[in-house]
Amino acid sequence: MMPPDKRAARRVSFDRAIPANMMAIDGTWQRACTVKDVSDSGAKLIVDGPVRGLKECFLMLSSTGLAYRRCELAWVNGGEIGVTFIRHGHKKATKANIAVSHPQQPG
């Protein structure tokens, strides 16, 4: 029996391999990987060989580089790694910041 999944974000698993690439933040290296599952907050990837010195990278989801996510390494288990998507400047919407960004006009 498998333990219950305690993640807050719903994950989508793929029946077929989804090829992707990991690229260093500074562009100095690139490495092929396969996306095993994904959610709004992260992904599980399959990589060949050891993962050393990886802290942050870009997950390139298209060959043109138009679809990508900045990631942080969350865990490593053999040839599988987990990454968390980094969202810089992302603020949760609240009534206060919506009112500031969209002030009501006097009627």
Count of alpha carbons within 13 Å of 62, Cβ hemisphere only?
Answer: 6
Of 104, 75, 92, 83, residue with least CA distance to 34: 83
Helical H runs in 1-107?
95-101
Going by DSSP bridges, is the β-strand pair 56-60/68-77 parallel, antiparallel, or unpaired? antiparallel
Instruction: Tell me what pLDDT residue 99 has.
Output: 38
Backbone angles phi, psi at 39, to 5 degrees: -140, -175
Kindly list the averaged pLDDT for each block of 10 residues, start to end, along the chain of length 107.
56 89 92 94 92 90 87 94 84 40 43
Q: Token digits for 30?
A: 């690139």
What pLDDT does residue 17 have?
82
Q: What is the pLDDT of residue 81?
A: 96
**pTM, rounded to two decimals:** 0.71
